Amino acid sequence: MKQLWAPWRLEYIVGDKELPEEECVFCLPETPDDDRRRLVLHRGQHAFVIMNKYPYTNGHLMVAPYRHTADPGGLSDAEALDMHRLLVLCRSVLQEQISPEGFNVGMNLGRVAGAGIVDHLHLHIVPRWNGDTNFMPVFADVRVIPQHLEATFDHLAQGFSRRHP
């Protein structure tokens, strides 16, 4: 039997699914000192790009506004535009760095819609490849991620820094 190694998944499996009310993974401090540990790849003017700590596929990114809000209708025009610009940037960087054949892009609004964090709006950008869905998620509820998160972070950070030094 072959082994699958995804140590970061254990933290999700056994950890608390609910964050204390005062903690939000999408609420960032003003300074970028902790960005690498938090997997923040890029800061825009009104929103930022962060890697999904529990990705569906390699390179699964998210874009979130700095402001803590769950309502896309409550975004200012500047916030909505910045989120869209960052989506376009993410797609370009992912295409350049890991060459996916397609993308799933979307928001899960509300817990019943699949939102793991319901109180802070975020947009998912999931790179896809032909054949990336196989028997593992169906039979074993396991997704195979071929690269460690830190290695993926370093690889994608190069793409973001080339576009926005």
Question: Could you list the active site residues?
Answer: 122
106 - beta bridge partners? 124
Residue 117 contacts residue 25 (beta carbons within 8 Å): yes
d(CA 102, CA 143): 18
